[in-house]
Amino acid sequence: MFTYEQERFGKFNRIKLVNNKTGEFAAFVPEFGGNINELVLNKNGKNYSIIDGFLSDEEMTGNKFMKSGRLIPFPNRILDGTYVFNEIRYQLPINEPAHHNAIHGFFFNQPLVVADIHPKDDEIFARLKFDYAGDYPGYPFKFSVALTYTLTDAREFKIHLSVKNIDTQPLPFGDGWHPYFRLGKTADDLYLRLPTSEKMLLTDRMVPYGQTEIDNRFLNAFPVKDVLLDSVFKLPTNEGVAVAELSKPEEDVAIQAWQETGPRKYNFMVIFIPPDRQSVAIEPMTCATNAFNSGDGLIILEPGEVFEVGHGVTLV
């Protein structure tokens, strides 16, 4: 039932994990951070393309809006690109000049190696690996990454992340994923529901300043039309799973983006509606914006320590 295909994507290779019975598939580009640029899931006999991904290799390398980027080793922003760790100050490159911040790490375009692809009767998974040598300016800490992508026969796509500190010193770490979800041509036809959370208030440079507010609009499905969002939501740290839902009631279909929560897991979520309003980004994050300075959700990995966490997408 499950197979995989390899195809060219401009100057890159692209791999598709395919459910031959339903036509569902997940497509990713190992050489560009394992970027997931297409995901098709089935509901009531109809296939839905639910990720707004890069359509060409040129668009991918241009990397507008960080579509489907894996945000390692820090999701979101670090103010002025600078932080202090173990009494040493580090300076990261400024790649968000408008706000003079470092943003979204440096993993998103790294070449990953496909270590294994394994079809089974009820699913198929691909395991990708990457070793970081500590050579990015401002982040001299060595780590290894294993990403596992799984397409199941239950209208679900799952991602499992494992990160190991392979250095001789501790390292600061955070992770996130930056997918843009869609159900049709415009997000303005959709409804958004979010888990219980607190919205972090941001400065004009898009970093938290220590205060939160309650935004109850999305506790039940709320129309996306006319809503502007580029917000960080802080979730309860209870062990479990948090779910955000993007639905299209007229077709009785919804995307459920789920993330593991609990100690050192995905206890933050960013919601962003891009200017073209064709999709809604629902981003799981292990830490808050600017966590390398605030410590809010920051993970410290000791030498030899392994961090593992999961998240995924289901069509219901």
Residue 136 has pLDDT above 90, yes or no: yes
| pLDDT band for position 64 (cuts 50, 70, 90) | confident
Nearest to 285 by CA among 272, 275, 302: 272
The average pLDDT across 229-245 equals: 96
The average pLDDT across 211-240 equals: 95
The average pLDDT across 218-243 equals: 96
Residue 111 has pLDDT above 90, yes or no: yes
- Model pLDDT, residue 15: 98
The average pLDDT across 196-214 equals: 95
| pLDDT band for position 165 (cuts 50, 70, 90) | very high
Q: What is the mean pLDDT of the chain?
A: 97
pLDDT > 90: percent of the chain: 98
Do 35 and 27 form a contact (C-beta atoms < 8 A)? no
Residue 296 has pLDDT above 90, yes or no: yes
Mapped to the 3 state alphabet, what secondary structure does the chain carry? Answer: CEEEEEEEECCEEEEEEEECCCCCEEEEEHHHCCEEEEEEEEECCEEEECECCCCCHHHHHHCHHHCCEECCCCCCEEECCEEEECCEEEECCCCECCCCEEECCCCCCCCCEEEEEEECCCEEEEEEEEEECCCECCECCCEEEEEEEEEECCCEEEEEEEEEECCCCCEEECCEEECEECCCCCHHHCEEECCCCEEEEECCCCCEEEEEECCHHHCCCEECCCCCCEEEEECCCCCEEEEEEEEEHHHCEEEEEEEEECCCCCCEEEEECCCCCCCEEEEEECCCCCHHHHCCCCEEECCCCEEEEEEEEEEC
* Full set of structural domains in the chain with CATH: 2-315 (2.70.98.10)
Residue 84 has pLDDT above 90, yes or no: yes
- Model pLDDT, residue 63: 87
Residue 128 has pLDDT above 90, yes or no: yes
- Model pLDDT, residue 99: 96
The average pLDDT across 13-24 equals: 97
